[in-house]
Amino acid sequence: MERTPLAAPLPEDLSACIELRGHLGGLTHEIECHEDSLKALCVWITQTLGYAFAGLVVEQETRWSLRYLFQSTELPSRWIHVLVRGPLEQTRYPSVTEVIHVADWHEREAEDLFGLVFEGHPRLGDFVLHDDAWQEGLAPMRREFDPANAPRVRTPNPDWRPQRIVHAPGAFGMPIGPVYSGICESAHFLLETVGEDVIRALPRFFYKYRAVEKIAEGRQAEDALLLAERINGLTAFAHGLAFAQTLETIAEIEIPPRAAKLRVFLAELERLRHHTGAIAEICESTALGVAASQAAMLEEELLRISGRLTGHRYLFGLAASGGLTRDLGDAELAAVIAPARSILRQLEALERRLVRTSSFLDRLEEVGIVTQAEARAYDLVGPIARASGLARDLRRIHPYSGYGEYDFDVPCESEGDGYARLRVLFAEARQSMRLMAQALERLPAGPVRAPKPTQHARAAGAALGWTEAPLGAALHWVRIDERGAIVRYRIIPPSFVNWHAFHLAAEAFAFQDFPIILASFGLSVSENDR
Amino acid sequence: MSQWVWSGLRWGIRTTRYPVRRDEAPGVTPGFPVARPLEAPLARADPYEVARLVERCPTGALLQREDRIDVDPRRCVHCFRCARDEAQPMPWSLSYEWAAATALRRAAPPPGGRDASASDAAAARLGRPFSHSVHIRVVDAGDCGACLHEVKQLSNPYYNLHRLGFFFTPTPRQADILLVVGAGADQMRTALEKTFAAIPTPRTVIAVGACALSGGVFGSSFASSAGVGSIVPVDIEVPGNPPPPLAILHALLVATGRAQPADWAAHSIRREVLTSAGGDASRRESMTPDEAP
């Protein structure tokens, strides 16, 4: 097998115990290693090569397969998959959380859902499956788990109380959620304090766990795509696209040029709409009524534009393996540009008013800070990473749908506070408009969907698909069998990565800043919980 | 600060005239497929074509009957597969007045009656005092975010639900309406039950979205219910994935007796679910299927 050189040679003591397997799909190195050298290998990949940890995919085949995903954070595009395999009886594996902090939640999730134990992990237990609702050791993602025999209805214990960590004279805890405030997604936050400032902010998620990854198993890939769209309804197209790309990689389908351009157009329309909504949320959280209303109106206009153009306000039912489910007329597409430009102009005018409003800026500046070092340690993604000076964008580093040919900037700020995050949202909205206009320039005619592969050409296999969703990198790992049914589906959504760092922003700031920090993060609970 | 006053005034009034006038603005609704009779070109003699069309639906929202193809709006997730069928596209309606009363609500006597306080069902009816001041507690029981977002859109000036006397409240103690979105994840069960119990009677429960009604694409699984109806007693159902803001607004008007519920039965929807239990179908405003291109 051909050995593509990596940026740095493997250290002697490591090269003895691993097997380098060249590429998967051209850009991916697969390295199988023994569990004993896993930690050292991870340190080499992240620290010597400068790659970022992107996720852990556990698969139960004839053996356990633990796949650690790493991505290059600058060009050239490269993925490294580190594989650790073990017999099914072996359920204990070394934890890499000590050397890669991001792996923390991935390992906790695998412990809950697969019943694997990661030795050396500081805190396993109560994560996806809440201890007060599920019996211990159920491991629902395992093959042998029988949903029919599991207790059908789980009712969490009404007397459950969050565990306090801060024990100091005068310390008290403020539990928030899962049903709280106005209209918000269900999640629980325990804020601990001895007075004004929050000392510990402990989130508890997965109240909305619907087991998307489990119920996808056995479904036809085409139907599982509907699930992918509904992981986060606000960024449905980005998730649907990432899922469709996995299928295209597996079946080696080339999408028609018109479909690639339209995908970029729709993905950027979604980003523009999403960011406008996120801006409205931030204005709302600071009780700046007029600004919140104006941003919300612009968002509604973009929703209507999407609805008129595609039939659905949230772009459901468009992404498909091989292209798009339907074509969009050239005249209808062109008719979007002028109103979208006008919306962007109004958004820019809104930005100018906001930066002149000192009472608004006071609530955002130097509030909810995530430093660049923290962002790097937590391998943050999306606008939050970019507001902390981490210019990571999959459209730039791992281009798909022809993003490599477009002219756009990756806006970046360095302060990492709420105001930096707001500025990134505005700047990205401008870039989205640029990309939408470019996608329609020289839009080729032709089909928008590649012909269906013939029955005998249908390949079993697995692949990773990715998009830069409005909230950040969305990774989908899909394995299908020769009938086209899903064997394993693992979603690594941006919110799962970024919620992990939320406590950094919430801690050391005042109670009353909490809703503003929450809004300036603007994350989805649904895609985190799955 | 004065810049906000001026810019606020300059933007003018953009609020919809609904419910006084129908809102026909493009893009306000994703629409629904409409039940269609089995006549040419989709003749009864071609059972293969009919079955093929019905099977395209991923959630079983299309139902083959002897003389027609029915649509179960509670299951439809707007995937557009039936509408985009090359050979036999289903007709599509761009309506939005979708909220229907459940059997529980139809069984309730009108408010103010002698036995009104006696039964659970009566507690579901908000009487005259509530017609122009109603408080809503929203609970997310496993939503993808879209339904919740459409509920949120009701506060923006385009829909401005305050003008109709509706208000969102953070506390269930002040709420009159419990508005539930999401499929009913098991881990949200206790929170939802507690919220419902904290709302004083009379109270109305509105389930919003296909997931809350039937589980939607998630269906019934070991971790979530197929809809929230098994957790709290639902009075009004709003189909859609997500239902647009106007559909949710319509549901609120139905809850306070200011609009007629949709009569899905008249459009030959799954009768065992939606047929009136003893109601007056003739008085109900029926959905106008204005066919979309």
Distance CA A407, CA B249 (A): 43
Residue A484 forms part of a structural domain: yes
Residue length of chain A: 530
pLDDT digits (tens, 9 = 90+) for A441-464: 888 888 888 887 665 556 788 889
Please tell me the predicted confidence (pLDDT) of residue B41: 65
Please tell me the predicted confidence (pLDDT) of residue A422: 94
CATH number, domain with residue A389: 1.10.645.10
Inter-chain touch B27–A307, beta carbons under 8 Å? yes
Which chain B residues contact residue A296 at CB under 8 A? 153, 155-157
Please tell me the predicted confidence (pLDDT) of residue A459: 77
Nearest residue to A224 via CA among A206, A251, A243: A243
Inter-chain touch A232–B147, beta carbons under 8 Å? no
A235 and A373 fall within a common domain: yes
Q: How many domains does chain A have?
A: 2
Distance CA B225, CA B142 (A): 10
> Look-up: residue for tokens 């430009």?
A341
Q: How many domains does chain B have?
A: 1
Distance CA A119, CA A104 (A): 12
H or E element, residue B252: helix B245-255
Please tell me the predicted confidence (pLDDT) of residue B44: 59
Residue B180 forms part of a structural domain: yes
Residue A136 forms part of a structural domain: no
Please give the average per-residue pLDDT across B203-227, as a whole number. 88
Are the C-beta atoms of residues A190 and B206 closer than 8 Å to each other? Answer: no
Residue B69 forms part of a structural domain: no
For residue A33, give its domain range: 12-119
pLDDT digits (tens, 9 = 90+) for B108-143: 766 555 444 444 555 556 766 777 789 999 999 989
Q: Kindly write down the DSSP assignment for every residue of A315-368, as one continuous string.
A: -TT-EETTEESS---HHHHHHHHHHHHHHHHHHHHHHHHHHT-HHHHHHHTTSS
Residues 6+ apart with CB under 8 A from A75: A396, A397
CB count in 10 Å sphere of residue B9 = 10
Residues 6+ apart with CB under 8 A from A529: A205, A206, A207, A208, A209, A210, B142, B185
Residue A139 forms part of a structural domain: no
Which chain B residues contact residue A212 at CB under 8 A? 218
For residue B87, the one-letter residue type is: A
Q: Which residues is A80 bridged to in the sheet?
A: A29, A70
In a mutagenesis test of the B interface, which of A129, A134, A141, A313 is the best target, namely the one with the most B β-carbons within 10 Å?
Answer: A313
Distance from B50 to chain A by nearest Cα, in Å? 20
Residue A284 forms part of a structural domain: yes
Closest in A231, A297, A316 to B156, CB measured: A297
Residue B184 forms part of a structural domain: yes
Inter-chain touch B138–A299, beta carbons under 8 Å? no
Nearest residue to B228 via CA among B182, B176, B262: B182
Inter-chain touch B80–A230, beta carbons under 8 Å? no
Domain boundary among A119, A147, A170: A119
Residue B124 forms part of a structural domain: yes
| Residue B182 tokens, joined | 């999401």
Please tell me the predicted confidence (pLDDT) of residue B149: 93
A294 and A436 fall within a common domain: yes
Residue A41 forms part of a structural domain: yes
A229 and A113 fall within a common domain: no
pLDDT digits (tens, 9 = 90+) for B244-279: 999 999 999 988 888 888 877 655 444 333 333 333
Distance CA B196, CA B190 (A): 10
Per-10-residue mean pLDDT for chain A, 530 residues long?
51 62 65 85 86 91 90 83 89 88 90 88 82 79 80 76 81 86 88 84 90 88 90 93 91 89 94 94 90 93 93 91 88 90 92 91 89 90 92 89 89 91 94 92 86 67 90 92 89 93 86 88 90
Residue A453 forms part of a structural domain: yes
ipTM of the shown complex: 0.88
Residue A234 forms part of a structural domain: yes
Nearest residue to A270 via CA among A235, A307, A227: A235
A267 and A393 fall within a common domain: yes
A301 and A416 fall within a common domain: yes
Inter-chain touch A296–B153, beta carbons under 8 Å? yes
A228 and A89 fall within a common domain: no
CATH number, domain with residue A53: 3.30.460.80
Domain boundary among A89, A119, A149: A119
- The residue of chain A nearest to residue B141, with distances taken between CA atoms, is A208
Higher pLDDT: A24 or B7? It is: B7
Q: Is the peptide bond before A256 cis (omega within 30 degrees of 0)?
A: no
CB count in 10 Å sphere of residue A458 = 16
Which chain B residues contact residue A210 at CB under 8 A? 142, 183, 185, 218, 221, 223-224
pLDDT digits (tens, 9 = 90+) for B64-85: 877 778 888 888 999 888 888 8
Please tell me the predicted confidence (pLDDT) of residue A484: 84
For residue B137, give its domain range: 100-283
Centroid of chain to Cα A442: 32
CATH number, domain with residue B123: 3.40.50.12280
A230 and A348 fall within a common domain: yes
Q: Kindly write down the DSSP assignment for every residue of B42-91, as one continuous string.
A: S-TT-HHHHHHHHHT-TTS-EEE-SSEEEE-TTT-----TTTT-SSSPPP
Domain boundary among A119, A141, A156: A119
